[in-house]
Amino acid sequence: MATMYDTLADLMVEHFQVERAEIRPDVTFEDLEMDSLFLVELLIVVQKELGVAIGDDTATPRDTIGRAAEAIEEQVAAASAS
C-alpha cells in the first residue's frame, strides 16, 4: 500500500503535470510556484480520490509536501475513526 506522500505525489504528477523529480518531502508548494488556488484544486482532487472530506486549510503554499501529506493522513485517519 502506498503512503500518503506517494499518493499525493502521484496526484500532483497525474493531475497537475508536476515533474516527479521536483517532488520531495522537504519541498514547499511555493518552491514549485504553486499558490493557494492550486492547493484548493489539489485538495479537491485528494477528496475525490480518497472519498474523504479534506479541509481547505489543510495545507498552505509555505507547507512542505511531506507536511501536507501528514496533515491529509491525519484527516483521513480521523474520518475513519468516526
Number of domains in the chain: 1
pLDDT tens for each residue of 30-49: 999 999 999 999 999 999 99
Residues of the domain holding 18: 4-81
pLDDT tens for each residue of 6-19: 999 999 999 999 99
Q: Please, what is the angle between helix 65-81 and helix 4-16, to 10°?
A: 110
Query: In this structure, what CATH number is given to the domain that contains residue 32?
Result: 1.10.1200.10
Q: Which three cell numbers stand for residue 34?
A: 504553486
Distance from C-alpha of 21 to C-alpha of 79, rounded to nearest angstrom? 31
